[in-house]
Structure 1
């Protein structure tokens, strides 16, 4: 009997044993590999600075899966002001940092699966305990991603996302 968490892909016909519950962008959309040689630019797994002027942190947009305890997540980048970025770095490895106020930011990851652009959606980055990426909460608008974050998605929607990510058009 196939794993109930897996799925048979309608694109390739293969059975995938597990249903992926997260996808992540490796860099903000505005990152260019040419920045690697710029001494005022850096990209790590959690932070990014471009030309000493643009500041980003990586976080998770978490979406509840309806009818389960599962959470689907998008690993995304948000731009922060220099002050908020500096503060986030100051407390990055500090126990109790989750007591920080959320940092306002702009979503800097385009999720092409959505009919409307996700770039520049308003967000709040909520710091969590050391070792956990920030929780990215979208402004409660009628954007499809914001609606999904508020209301949840079905397991069928998770499969739909998996097929679109695994087999981009």
Structure 2
């Protein structure tokens, strides 16, 4: 019931060797100028208690990234106001690009990935987040993602 992106769309494999770049399972820095956190876009599955999740990367300002890092292991961090960010994951199953959709990143308790709320637009991903998807749509996404990752091998 989920799909996760390994890195932000701007990440290049050679960045792994650079001193001013970092990619962990939760945070990313590119050339000490671009800052990203990994979060979840959660979509309710209609007619069930299940949620489909996209594990995505969102860019944050330097100040908001620093604040996130400072609070990373601090109890109560979920009381933080949401941070503005741009979606930096291209999800392969939408007819229009998902890159650079406007988001709000909500910090959750320690050990939980942030919740990524898309601004309410008419983009199909934002509509799905607001209205939910069917189990058939989950299957359609799984098939598309599987075929997309098979082609990359």
- The residue number in structure 1 matching 2:110 is 130
The alpha carbon displacement at 1:66 in A equals 0.3
Choose which of 140, 147, 152 in structure 2 pairs with 1:167: 147
1:156 aligns with 2:136: yes
Give the 4+ runs in structure 1 shifted more than 3 A.
none
The alpha carbon displacement at 1:167 in A equals 1.8
**Root-mean-square deviation over aligned CA pairs:** 0.7
1:30 aligns with 2:10: yes
Question: Could you tell me how far apart the structure 1 residues matched to 2:35 and 2:63 are?
Answer: 10
Question: Could you tell me how far apart the structure 1 residues matched to 2:29 and 2:82 are?
Answer: 20
- The residue number in structure 2 matching 1:41 is 21
How many residue pairs get matched? 149
Question: Could you tell me how far apart the structure 1 residues matched to 2:16 and 2:45 are?
Answer: 38
Q: TM-score, normalised by structure 1?
A: 0.87
CA contact (8 A) 2:92 2:144 kept: no
Q: TM-score, normalised by structure 2?
A: 0.96
Residues 85-125 of structure 1 show CA distances to partners (whole Å, capped at 9, x for unaligned) of: 00000001111100000010000000011001000000000
- The residue number in structure 2 matching 1:56 is 36
Question: Could you tell me how far apart the structure 1 residues matched to 2:16 and 2:5 are?
Answer: 17
Larger radius of gyration between Structure 1 and Structure 2: 1
- The residue number in structure 2 matching 1:121 is 101
Greater helix proportion = 2
Question: Could you tell me how far apart the structure 1 residues matched to 2:90 and 2:145 are?
Answer: 13
Q: What residue ranges of structure 2 are gaps of 5+ in the alignment?
A: none
The alpha carbon displacement at 1:34 in A equals 0.7
Q: What residue ranges of structure 1 are gaps of 5+ in the alignment?
A: 1-20
Question: Could you tell me how far apart the structure 1 residues matched to 2:47 and 2:17 are?
Answer: 48
